[in-house]
Structure 1
Amino acid sequence: MRTPLSEKKLQELIEKIEPFKVGFDAIGEHVIITDENANILYANKGVEEQTGFSIQEIIGKTPADVWGGKMPKDFYKTLWHTIKTEKKPFVGELNNVKKDGTKYWQEIHIHPIFNHDGTIKFFIAIEPNITERKEKEKFKEEFISIISHQLKNPLTVMKWTLEILAKIEGATSSDQKRIKVVLENTQSIIDLVNDLTIISKIGKIDTQTNIDLFTVINSIIEQAKVANRNTVIEFKKDMEPCIIKSNSTLSFEVFKNLIFNAAEYSDKDHGIVNIHLKKENDYYLFSVENNGIEIPKNEQSKIFSKFFRASNASDRKESGTGLGLFIAKMICDYFGWQISFKSPTDKGNGAIFHLKIPI
């Protein structure tokens, strides 16, 4: 709830912020200083240029009175909880509207300024315009979505056709080999399209639901067993149930990439994958370990890089997009999960990946 300022109180506060204004007038970016209730006490020229409102129209009002207030209620609830209750800086992206009705995007950085007794004195907000960047991101998302849609259907048809051809009796050994190569390449392109689709969604999906990790992990294990019939996959859990609140699509991708990666790169003849899930203090700890090839020491710093495959990866799996672990790391960073790995494991081979998930 806004607390309006009297003219006298407004002038008193404006005089108090005089020392804070030094330097802000010369900055081209949007900068405002408000009291603890968001009443604007100072705005630089950058605010006029970005919003179209004059300084006279801005002073004494809140951002919501002029260009703001267009984001969902939960956004502002989180913002105010961060800066006023936790008394911490806040960083976020928000959509605002100029005086002429034009919508634009800003990256907002709000910093509390305190009195000697620890109470909040002012807020300083620096809000660069990121409209151009957001438009480029939107174009990239739409482009990937269109390309994925246009490629996926014909690639799937090609795969089905090749699978049928591979089963036809009478084909020569040479023809069978050619069909196998084309089929594998087609599957690689399908995997790449799927990976690009997931990448385009990271940071853009806000829907969260309660997810039972046991159900998710067991579902992925069953899929991995079918795809890797020579690999034994064991799942040990120390408690149940194990419920987290997250986005189901992206969460599934993290566990799928880690479990499939472990199964695919386990020992070729006698693969073993051990999965463990337990609770420790305020975290769920997940690990997946295999008995396959080690990740070369001089390449471990690149393991989460885009399109990277270890130099010895083809010894176990001929092809791959090099995006699985990159995607897992991107999603974990977005969620605030911690992902790490060790190779070789304490058993002297393979690799073990860890997830630390806040409850």
Structure 2
Amino acid sequence: MLDYLLSIIIWVGIIGNVILGILVYNRDSVSIINKLFVGLALSASAWAVSLYFFEHPIFFDSEIWLRITYLTVLVIINVFLQFSFIFPKRINKTMKIPLLTCGVSAIIFVYFIIFTDLFVANVVKESWGYHQTLGLIYPVFGIWAFLYSFWAVLNFFKSYRISQGFEKLQMQYLFLGMFFYAVIPLILDIVFPVFLKDSRFIWFSPVSASFFTAFIAISIMKHRLLGIRLILARSLAYTFLLLTFTIIYIIGILFLGSIFTKQSLSIYNILISIILALFISFSFQSLKKFFEMITDKIFYKDKYETDELLHEISQILVATIDLDNLTSGVLGILKENVHFVKGAVFILDENRNIDQVYIDKSRKYLFPTNDELKVLAKSHRFLIFEEMDEGREKEVMRRKELSLFIPLETKEKLVGYLIIGEKSSGDIYYKQDLSVFEILAPEFAVALTNAESFTKIQEFSKILEKKVKERTKELKETQKRELKKAKELLKLKDEFVFIASHELRTPVTAIDGYVGLIDRSKIKFDQDTKENFQAIEKANERLNQLVDDLLDVSRSESGTLKVSVNPVNLNQVITATLGRVKSLTDKKKVSVTLNLDSGNFLVLSDTEKLSDVMENLLSNAIKYNKPGGEIKISSERKDDCVQVDVKDTGFGIPKKLQDKVFSRFFRAKVPGTETEEGTGLGLFITKMLIEKMHGKMTFVSEEGKGSVFSFILPLAN
């Protein structure tokens, strides 16, 4: 009797481990944790199976089954150790060495188990069962198994200690399962045979696999270990149902066999009965489906599979966000399978009035009005025409030729109603049909809510897009108006500058003439009068320069500034300009160094404008230089252009002002240059003229150290 009970416990553990392994693998076949758990569960089942057949040998003798048992133990310990290092998270970065030593030593033991008698010397059948004679290597194997099993259990204990919260609850049962799974075999398979010379209890060690299965199952059911709680619950229910029928079948067969055949029960009879019973149990559903499929094709051509129908609808609910496609898709699939005459979906607004109606492809519109809908909705329940009592509700259903009225509700609100007409065949709706609608209703309601929200977002996006376009149009029109005003103001300013410049030219010329007459007269004036005349002359020169500059600016902006580009000798222009400003360099005691390219290049430019450019640059270099400073003028050919640099050792331009250097009326207020006079148009005009001659103007300046102004002009071919 004990043998039978133990056999049942062992086989329950074997089957449980196989089921656990399959479920975990199907849950996530990529995860290394899941793969190792599957390996652990299946190797545990293989170990229990081989030990069972060691005690009840078939196919091979007990010694071969025992050797197979020890081979599975080697696999278990290796997988057990690796699993302990990474579950629930890696606890040791240097796990390669222990895993390598464990694996290599296991390979050595494989040799001794298969090819020598140093592991299992002999197996003898005794009255109580099979007795093994241990080989010389077995104690070494016992120490090896103990060390690595202890190491694995210690790893699980560490993981349990450092885990927190929900993870700790999962680890609690897992640790207990692993503990018993390791300790029971160590005691029964190693301690007893090696130290007590008694191997009769080896047959009991597979019970540890049942402990392992039980504790893992508890952790899965209570704390969702490995994420297969729901799958395991359904699988266990199905398995227990099959096992119940299997046990009843076995007991019945054995009982009847013992009565009619008068034969005693043997383990072989029981084993064969178990295998046949399990085969019948597990094949029952497949055979049932096969014969149902054949009979349904004959008697029920319109029958459908509920699971397949719900799966097909769920695909649409998940993948579709557009209301039209969602409702037409669901109604289409329902009509194709359930075969009703007409169907519709009513979506309600916040006041529970009809907001939108979606009809199936039949377009047979004979549906309740808003008031009739409120009559049907009073009961707040699923209405089935055949089951309704006579009254206003049933009268509306009859008048509108409706069979089903299904509220579509989420936890938060009533979304709408699904209304279905009569079946095409004239039959009533069966339990299968009603179950489909009951399961579908809440899921459909959620999908409709999501689709409705998406539609509102789309509508809001369109409104927003329209407003943005309108606002953009307004801004563009405003911008055009402002730009037009700015152009008009600029035109007025240019006209003013042009007129003012021309009007100033006459008095400037007159003043210049009178000053010249006074200068050439033979009248002798006192010193103060002479100085006054000189001041008038200088002021008139500045005014004349300002008029010229303003006219150049005005001509440039109006497009009337004429630049005649011809081959010009650059070195001659630089030398001539230097001669004109010599009086200024002498007055400020500034030295000038020339470092011109000996190529004597011809550049494409306007001689007069190029002279103005050089004069502006040299005047600035002298004016804003320090007394006794230096000016270096250099020219250099660069590909098909010539670059001219005018470098001074003056006060430089502050960094914060450098982006305004080429602006109109810009003057850098630097200590030491307060007394220098100017219009602030020189550099603006210089850059403008260089660009008119297809050149480029740049500068580099450092406050307190000076500036380098450069321009590039194209070479004449």
TM range (shorter): 0.5 to 0.7
1:267–1:196 Cα change, 3 Å: same
Does residue 327 of the first structure (1) align with residue 685 of the second (2)?
Answer: yes
Q: Is the 8 A contact 1:239 1:278 kept in 2?
A: no
- In the aligned structure 2, how far is the partner of 1:314 from the partner of 1:153? 33
Does residue 265 of the first structure (1) align with residue 624 of the second (2)?
Answer: yes
What is the identity, as a one-letter code, of the residue corresponding to 2:502?
I
Q: 2:508 aligned to 152, 172, 180, which one? A: 152
CA RMSD of superposed structures (Å): 3.4
1:163–1:264 Cα change, 3 Å: farther
Task: Please say which of residues 182-191 and 242-251 is displaced more in the overlay.
Answer: 182-191
Partner of 1:231: 590
Does residue 295 of the first structure (1) align with residue 649 of the second (2)?
Answer: no
Partner of 1:282: 640
Deviation at 1:240, TM superposition (A): 2.1
1:139–1:227 Cα change, 3 Å: same
Deviation at 1:181, TM superposition (A): 4.7
Task: Please say which of residues 287-296 and 143-152 is displaced more in the overlay.
Answer: 143-152
Does residue 185 of the first structure (1) align with residue 539 of the second (2)?
Answer: yes
What is the identity, as a one-letter code, of the residue corresponding to 2:595?
K
Deviation at 1:242, TM superposition (A): 1.2
- In the aligned structure 2, how far is the partner of 1:137 from the partner of 1:194? 17
Partner of 1:143: 499
For residues 111-138 of structure 1, give each alpha carbon's deviation from its aligned partner in whole angstroms, at most 9, with x where no partner exists.
xxxxxxxxxxxxxxxxxxxxx9999799
What is the identity, as a one-letter code, of the residue corresponding to 2:564?
T
What is the identity, as a one-letter code, of the residue corresponding to 2:499?
F
| SS at 2:706 equivalent | coil
What is the identity, as a one-letter code, of the residue corresponding to 2:697?
I
Does residue 357 of the first structure (1) align with residue 357 of the second (2)?
Answer: no
- In the aligned structure 2, how far is the partner of 1:182 from the partner of 1:134? 33
Q: 2:572 aligned to 195, 215, 219, which one? A: 215
- In the aligned structure 1, how far is the partner of 2:649 from the partner of 2:539? 27
When normalised by structure 1's length, the TM-score is: 0.53
Partner of 1:125: none
- In the aligned structure 1, how far is the partner of 2:642 from the partner of 2:548? 28
Deviation at 1:233, TM superposition (A): 1.3
Does residue 196 of the first structure (1) align with residue 555 of the second (2)?
Answer: no
- In the aligned structure 2, how far is the partner of 1:315 from the partner of 1:133? 34
- Flag the structure with higher strand content: 1
For residues 152-207 of structure 1, give each alpha carbon's deviation from its aligned partner in whole angstroms, at most 9, with x where no partner exists.
31232355467679x956335xx676555544433321221122233344443143
Task: Please say which of residues 199-208 and 275-284 is displaced more in the overlay.
Answer: 199-208
Rg larger for: 2
Query: Percent of aligned pairs with the same residue?
Result: 24
- Flag the structure with higher helix content: 2
Size of the aligned set, in residue pairs, is 223
- In the aligned structure 2, how far is the partner of 1:313 from the partner of 1:192? 24
1:138–1:191 Cα change, 3 Å: closer
When normalised by structure 2's length, the TM-score is: 0.28
Q: Is the 8 A contact 1:308 1:322 kept in 2?
A: yes
What is the identity, as a one-letter code, of the residue corresponding to 2:707?
A
Deviation at 1:239, TM superposition (A): 2.8
Partner of 2:412: none
Partner of 1:38: none
1:329–1:151 Cα change, 3 Å: farther
- In the aligned structure 2, how far is the partner of 1:317 from the partner of 1:161? 30
For residues 213-256 of structure 1, give each alpha carbon's deviation from its aligned partner in whole angstroms, at most 9, with x where no partner exists.
11111000111112221221121112322111222222222122
Partner of 1:245: 604
Deviation at 1:265, TM superposition (A): 1.7
| SS at 2:527 equivalent | coil
1:320–1:179 Cα change, 3 Å: same
Q: Which has the higher contact order (CA 8 A, sep 6+)?
A: 1
